[in-house]
């Protein structure tokens, strides 16, 4: 990899592989009478439209996390509160997916869902995740707990937990925890927000800062604390089974009373890392139509390919871009 990363890598490829057009947006596929795809129409920074004819076209324009209209169409009103986890997501407006569907591509993946991450809405950093909630409680703006904060391994549960946050009023929740957090080795590494947590010496003062209803939230915490009766040994770096009793919703691990000041809180919203819906492809990354036939000349890779349902398996999104991009290139090279 050249010293200036991806841009340098592209620059090195250009003399061998072709040319790049910066600040240029693909807006439509060129479709021949026989239905084959023969390139794209683009619009450049000068506003002029150009037709780029090609025997093979690979759509690799990401998902639709930057397109509020598509998000609302596929996900409903909760989309109002879901923002991309990093500003780059705003450039992924689903144009490649939309163009392919309009040309007859079959949809694939769960269009109503997305890979969700718990982010601090106060932060302006990319990927400002807050993963401390399994060691505290999550409450909504009514001061109520609404799920099991620690049902199992964090990697397997955070997608569902943070999508549930998007379902709460105003799409926000607050993790509340206490000074016992200092017993967790390197706990601050679970937080990528540059903004410090809200803190106070009393719960009353903390809840006032958060603007949460005082008596309701104190009751929630009191009920939760009363249910923290497990005699098992607390062990923060493994699933310890220290669970609540007779509390709804339950908490399955690391359930200790919130009682030792200072008390802390982070606001958490659901960040959209990428959307799950895309187009269907075969093992050569060729886009398929609704009858399973190849849309001749059209390929897709990365988020533009629909792949996921329910829970995203960590670290596979870059991988699928590499895999399907390579498959497409290999197939095109043999044409
Ligand atoms: C903070 C963060 C952390 C992540 N961590 C991981 C991780 O640890 N492991 C992992 O596997 N994945 C991770 N991901 C997800 C992964 O990085 C992305 O899913 C992946 O990089 C997407 O690649 P892509 O090429 O499909 O889309 P993108 O990288 O989004 O590229 C799409 C490109 O197409 C351009 N474009 C869009 N529309 C058009 C158009 N009409 N015409 C021309 N160009 C267009 C966009 O500007 C963009 O440059 C993370 C993502 C984020 C934001």
State which of 90, 92, 120, 128 you would mutate to test the pocket of ligand 1, scoring each by most atoms of that ligand within 8 A of its C-beta: 92
Whether the predicted pLDDT of 100 surpasses 90: yes
pLDDT value at residue 3 = 62
Atom of ligand 1 nearest to the CA of 126: 1
Q: How large is the average pLDDT for residues 61-76? A: 97
Atom nearest to 91 CA in ligand 1 = 47
pLDDT for 118 equals 98
Domains of the chain by range and CATH?
5-113+276-333 (3.50.50.60), 117-271 (3.90.700.10)
CB 184 within 8 A of CB 236: yes
Q: Check pLDDT > 90 for residue 334.
A: yes
Mean per-residue pLDDT of the chain? 95
Question: 174 Cβ partners below 8 Å, 6+ apart?
Answer: 138, 139, 140, 210, 212, 265, 266, 267, 268
pLDDT, one tens digit per residue, over 200-241 is 999 999 999 999 999 999 999 999 999 999 999 999 999 999
How far does the centroid of ligand 1 lie from the alpha carbon of residue 62, in Å? 6
From the CA of 197, how far away is ligand 1's center (Å)?
A: 29
Which residue puts its alpha carbon closest to atom 28 of ligand 1?
A: 62
- Give yes or no for residue 11 having a pLDDT over 60: yes
Question: What is the average per-residue pLDDT within 185-201?
Answer: 97
User: Which ligand 1 atom lies nearest to the CA of residue 42?
Assistant: 42
Predicted confidence at residue 17, as pLDDT, reads: 66
With the most atoms of ligand 1 within 8 angstroms of its CB, the residue from 90, 317, 325 to mutate is 317
As for the ipTM of the complex, it is 0.99
CA distances from 67 to 62, 74, 75 (A): 11, 11, 12
* 180-191 core/surface letters (b: 16 or more CB in 10 A; e: else): bbeebeeeeebb
The answer to whether 267 and 170 have CB atoms below 8 angstroms apart is no
Q: How confident is the model at residue 303 (pLDDT cuts 50, 70, 90)?
A: very high
Which residues surround ligand 1 with Cβ inside 6 Å?
A: 25-26, 60-62, 85-86, 91-93, 95, 126-127, 273-274, 302-303, 315-319, 321
Q: What mean pLDDT comes out for the span 124-147?
A: 97
């Amino acid at each position: 990899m050249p010293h200036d990363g991806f841009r340098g890598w592209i620059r090195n490829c250009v003399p061998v592989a072709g040319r790049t057009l910066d600040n240029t947006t693909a807006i439509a596929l060129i479709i021949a009478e026989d239905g084959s795809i023969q390139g794209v129409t683009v619009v450049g920074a000068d506003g002029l439209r150009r037709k780029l004819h090609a025997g093979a076209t690979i759509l690799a324009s990401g998902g639709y996390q930057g397109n509020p209209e598509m998000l609302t169409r596929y996900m409903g009103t909760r989309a109002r509160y879901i923002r991309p986890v990093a500003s780059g997501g705003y450039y992924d407006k689903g144009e490649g997916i939309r163009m392919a569907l309009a040309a007859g591509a079959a949809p694939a993946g769960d269009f109503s869902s997305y890979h969700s991450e718990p982010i601090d809405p106060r932060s302006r950093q990319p990927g400002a995740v807050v993963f401390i909630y399994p060691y505290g409680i999550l409450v909504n703006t009514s001061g109520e707990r609404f799920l099991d904060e620690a049902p199992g391994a964090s990697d397997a549960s955070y997608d569902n937990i943070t999508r549930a946050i998007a379902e709460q009023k105003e799409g926000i929740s607050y993790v509340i925890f206490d000074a016992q957090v200092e017993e967790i080795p390197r706990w601050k590494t679970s937080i990528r927000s540059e903004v410090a947590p809200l803190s106070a010496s009393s719960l009353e003062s903390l809840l006032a800062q958060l603007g949460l209803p005082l008596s309701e939230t104190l009751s929630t915490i009191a009920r939760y604390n009363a249910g923290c009766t497990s005699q098992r040994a607390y062990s923060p770096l493994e699933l310890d089974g220290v669970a609540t009793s007779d509390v709804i919703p339950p908490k399955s691990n690391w359930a200790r009373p919130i009682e030792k000041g200072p008390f802390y809180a982070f606001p958490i919203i659901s960040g959209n890392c990428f959307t799950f819906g895309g187009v269907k492809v075969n093992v050569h990354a060729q886009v398929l139509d609704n009858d399973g036939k190849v849309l001749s000349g059209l390929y897709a890779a990365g988020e533009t390919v629909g792949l996921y349902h329910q829970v995203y398996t960590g670290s596979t999104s870059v991988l699928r871009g590499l895999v399907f991009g390579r498959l497409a290139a290999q197939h095109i090279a043999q044409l």
